[in-house]
Amino acid sequence: MRKPNCTHAPHRRQGSPHKPATGIYLRLCLSSAFGVVGAYALLVHSTVAYGIVHSVTLERFTEQLQALKDSPQDLNTVFLGDSTLGNAVAPQGPGFLNLALTANYGYAGTYNMLQHALLIRPQVKNFVIVHAIRLPILPVSWLGYYSTLPGEQSWSVQIAGLFYKTMFFLEPGAQRDILGQWLNWAGILQFARADNFQFRDINPRQMQFLEQIAALCKRQHLNCLYALGTIRESICHDFPQYIIRIKAAIAATSIRLIEPTPICIPESDAELGSDDHIAGRLQPQYTQRFLGLVGPYLK
């Protein structure tokens, strides 16, 4: 019988077995996962830095919080909302204080500012919410929420909260909101332009914060009112069905709607380049107009 020829048998060194394919796949999967998380972290960071709430608007919250602390003890009425309110109504007057933030904070920032007001001036019973008519269709500002929460929180805690809530799917659809705001800032996708009001649905996550405001008002027996902000007359006339839809959504929260609003302004009264900001020279006139509308609803 012929002996087998072993001289050409493959030589395998001790301790160096072939690595199984599953190990390669596992490393690829882990690398991909870390890559996705890293890319998303970069997206969140860039959105934090430039998209949702930038440093100027964070300063706006700090300034308004200080104004609240400096307000008189006999304060009776607080206005809450965005820059449509900030432009139209004076910062303060007899018995009232205007704590307007910007649309970057959304209803989330308004909800937290209401809580601050109750902690600092618990005697106030009248709260008037004034937001741009475009707000209900905008994405939620999660940094606007985390950066205004009552209590001391560091910047790192705010970033971590935003990242955790969106990355780990604790808020359905929040990833889309984050991406959408980044694209909006970058100019790739524009939200809430006047010519697309009728094509966008009301964002239910925005309305959830308004519902939380309504629930807090009910628990604390507050007189909470809502006035639609100023807007150019041409938009009032072109999008009546959109205004009807957002009024119905606001009324469904049980917050009392002030009528007649929105205040439809002539082109000559609008700030240059804006659909919903009053020209600064007209603020005294529109302050009186708002106070006249709100007066009969106050307690």
Question: For 186-201, how does the pLDDT look when each residue is reduced to its tens digit (9 = 90+)?
Answer: 444 444 444 455 556 8
Residue 7 burial by Cβ neighbours in a 10 Å radius (0-12, 13-18, 19+): exposed
pTM attached to this predicted model: 0.74
Decide: helix, strand or coil at residue 63. Answer: helix
**31-297 to CATH, choices 3.40.50, 1.10.3470, 3.90.75, 2.10.25:** 3.40.50
Q: How far is CA 195 from CA 33, 38, 239, in A?
A: 40, 36, 9
**Single-letter amino acid, residue 210:** L
Query: So what's the pLDDT on residue 18?
Result: 53
Radius of gyration of the chain (CA): 27
Q: How confident is the model over 94-104, as pLDDT tens digits?
A: 999 999 998 88
Where does the chain have alpha helices with state H? 21-50, 55-69, 83-88, 106-120, 142-146, 155-167, 174-186, 204-219, 233-238, 240-251, 283-294
**pLDDT reading at 182 higher than 90:** no
Identify whether the C-beta of residue 193 lies closer than 8 Å to the C-beta of residue 60.
no
**What is the bridge-based pairing of β-strands 92-93 and 96-98?**
antiparallel
